[in-house]
Every structure is written in structure tokens, then in C-alpha cells.
Structure 1
Amino acid sequence: MKLSVYEQLKRSILDGKLAAGQPLVESQLADAYGVSRTPIREALHRLQQDGIVERGDRGLRVAEGSAEQILEIYEARVVLEAAVCESAARRRTEMDVARLHGILEASPRDNPSASEMVASNMQFHEAVWQASHNGTWVDLLSRLNTHLRRYPSTTLTAPGRWEEALEEHAALLAAIERGDAEAASSIGRAHMTKARDVRLRMWREQHAGEAALS
């Protein structure tokens, strides 16, 4: 099935084909995607609402990332992950627990690639979200994850972080399985707080290197 113009533009931004700060000119995009300017205008409006397109001095552009935005995203995600983990411990079914065990057991451990780690990590987190049986939290976390996808590097490639994340996943699953809501919430909060700290360190190191080269 052909993707909508909105989905095509969104994917191009999240995949980095349209770089941060790049101007988004309706007429040029209409030519590139083979459509009229109306669906382009509607797609840009939705992407602006999503927060991945912003208005600059000369019109719309791909939103720039910042350390402040990373903090804002993670402030929200830390709170939501703690809540969703607590809910998962209270509401999980046997099927939810079995699914989480299967994902954790299948997680790559022998020198995995960045893409393998990202896919496995996302699969585990999405299964925890589903185990909460709270559609609103799932929707909010999915939106926050969209914002994080604009930062292509993954925290899981930091030395030792993948192994640590797997241990945290195992501890979280154990808390969910035994119905310990308080422990699940605490583990979820700590897990995402560590991810935030690694993400900020990576951001600072990247931009310090760019400044040195300029």
C-alpha cells in the first residue's frame, strides 16, 4: 500500500534524508513527490503539530534538535515509562509475560549491530507498553519515540550500555511477572534516566567535535 504524503515526508525526516534545518518549500516538495501543493501543505501542518517541522525566518523547515529538547522529551518519558511499568505489573496477562520472555530471550548478545540492538530494545519496550493495557500511555510514548528518532545515534552503542540495558530489562520483567508494581515503576524510571544521561553525553560529545572542526 502506498504511503500518504504525510508518512513519506515524516519517514524522510526521521531517516535523515531531509536534514535538520533544511527548508521545506511546498512547490519543490510537490514536484519531488508528484502531487499538488494541497496535500503537501496538509502534511507539513501535521508534521508541525508533531514537532518535527518548525517555522523559521524564511518559512517552514525541518526542526533543529537541541540538548534542551532531549531533556524535555526524557522528562516526559521518564514519568510515562515509570507509570506504564507500574501498570504493566498490575494488569499484565500470562500472554503479556510470555511475550516479554520471548523477546528478552531472543535479544542479541553476541556483538550485535546498532540496528539489531535498537530493534530488540524497541520490541521489548513496546511489549511492556502493551502489557499496561492503557492505550493513552501507548499513544503518548509512541509520539515521544518519534521525536527521539530524529536523533539517529542510539544510546545502546555506548560502551557497556547494551549489556546493562539487558540486565535492566530482565529485572523489569521479573518485577512485572511477580506483580511488584512499586519495583517495576522504580526500575522503569531508573532505566530511562540512564538512557537520558547517556543521550545527553553523546549529544555534547558530538557537538563538541563539530565545534572543534569548524
Structure 2
Amino acid sequence: MIRNAIIAQELPPRAQLVENALAKKYSVSRTPIREALRRLETEGLVERIGSRMQVREYRPEEMLDLYEVRSFLEEAAAKTAALRHTDMDLMLIERAHQSMVDLKFEEATAAQLAAVNRTFHERIWAASHSAALLDLLDRILVHFIRYPGTTLSTPTRWNQVLKEHEELVAAIRDRDADGAGKIASAHLEVAKNIRIEMYIDAQEIPAP
């Protein structure tokens, strides 16, 4: 409950997390709230400031670290998916890619662009048939969902992503593990660099 509220920005960064208030809001006792906050602290979604708990703020330096870790995991997932995927897995990956191709960029919201892109990547994760990879990627994805904006917000980047995804699908289809891994890693590297540019641009915008 609390985790979903943080992801959906219903509880924004620096929002105070008071056990009594949360217990009342979700109609539960303080015990499950306390346990949930401990788990979320372990995941890096909330932090303790003195005796208080709050939703953790965005930290640019952590974002770069997250991209490095995700790149490693995405590369591993792509390699493993290339080796282990079933016909059904491949069909679902291709279908997810086609959904992105069919989406009209000009009419789509940033949330819709991010959602279809996320589905594509999740299909590849599932095709790896690695519970450990799925768990790690799911945990790290939460942090990406929380960051404002999307690296897919320009037509040029969107078309580039479609091309990269098409190449990744082809490598997985051909069971080219090394090729799939390299494409996935390069794909994340481009996204990381765009995110850095987004952060720099945001810092340069003068305050009103």
C-alpha cells in the first residue's frame, strides 16, 4: 500500500510517514505499518531523519549508480533470455515491441510511453526464466519509475528506441546471447546520458 503510494507520487519525496496516520488511513494496526516502513527503508524508498521517517528524496548521484546496476542486470537478462526463451516468450516480446511501434507518439502521454517501454523490458526479464534477476530488476525499476520525466520524450529518441528494441528482439530470436547483451547495455548507456542531460537542463532553468 505505502510502496504503491510512493511509486504513484501520492506520497512525494520528503513526505512525512507517521505510523499512526498511516495506520488510520489504511485501516490497519501500527505493526504492519512499522514492518512495511522497515522494508521500504531497506529498499531505499524511505529514510530515517532523526526519529522521523520520510519518503526519500531524489539524488542525482544515486540515479547514475542505479543506471550502472540496471545496465549490468539488463545485459544479464538479455543474454539469458536469448538462451532460455520459449516460443511463447518470444511471441510476447515481439507483441510488446509491436505495441510500441503501433503507438502514435504525438498522441501519447509520457506515462503511456514509459508504460509500453516498461512492458517490453519486463517481457525480456520474464524470458530469462531467472527468479533472481526478476527480483533484482523489479526492485531497481521502482526507483526509475519515481524519477520525474522520461528519457523517451522526444520523437528522435523514441524512433531510436524502436530501432534498438528491434535489434534486441532479433538477437534474442537468433539466440545470440553476446549480441543481445551488448545491445541491452548500449541501450541503457544512451538512456543514462539522456537522463544526465535532463538533469543539467533542469538545473539551468532560472527560478521564477
Give, in angstroms, the shift of residue 146 of structure 1: 0.8
Give, in angstroms, the shift of residue 33 of structure 1: 2.5
C-alpha distance in structure 2 between counterparts of 1:25 and 1:116, whole Å: 33
Give, in angstroms, the shift of residue 58 of structure 1: 4.7
In structure 2, give the amino acid aligned to 1:72: D
Which stretch of structure 1 is more off in the superposition, 167-176 or 128-137? 128-137
Gaps of 5+ in 1: 1-7
Matched residue of 1:61: which SS?
strand
C-alpha distance in structure 2 between counterparts of 1:157 and 1:142, whole Å: 23
Which stretch of structure 1 is more off in the superposition, 53-62 or 200-209? 200-209
Query: 1:31 aligned to 18, 24, 34, which one?
Result: 24
**Correspondence list, 1:1-214, <5 A:** 8-107=1-100, 108-110=102-104, 111=106, 112-209=108-205, 212-213=206-207
What TM-score, normalized to structure 2?
A: 0.92
C-alpha distance in structure 2 between counterparts of 1:116 and 1:82, whole Å: 24
C-alpha distance in structure 2 between counterparts of 1:33 and 1:133, whole Å: 35
8 A contact 1:79–1:189 mirrored in 2: yes
Sequence identity, in percent? 39
Deviations 1:100-120 (A, max 9, x none): 122212224422322221121
In structure 2, give the amino acid aligned to 1:156: L
C-alpha distance in structure 2 between counterparts of 1:55 and 1:154, whole Å: 28
What TM-score, normalized to structure 1?
A: 0.89
Give, in angstroms, the shift of residue 23 of structure 1: 1.7
Which stretch of structure 1 is more off in the superposition, 98-107 or 75-84? 98-107
Give, in angstroms, the shift of residue 19 of structure 1: 1.4
8 A contact 1:175–1:184 mirrored in 2: yes
Which stretch of structure 1 is more off in the superposition, 74-83 or 157-166? 157-166
8 A contact 1:29–1:40 mirrored in 2: yes
Matched residue of 2:152: which SS?
helix
8 A contact 1:74–1:196 mirrored in 2: yes
Matched residue of 1:54: which SS?
strand
Give, in angstroms, the shift of residue 159 of structure 1: 4.7
8 A contact 1:80–1:141 mirrored in 2: yes
Give, in angstroms, the shift of residue 61 of structure 1: 0.7
C-alpha distance in structure 2 between counterparts of 1:187 and 1:29, whole Å: 44
CA RMSD of aligned residues (A): 1.6
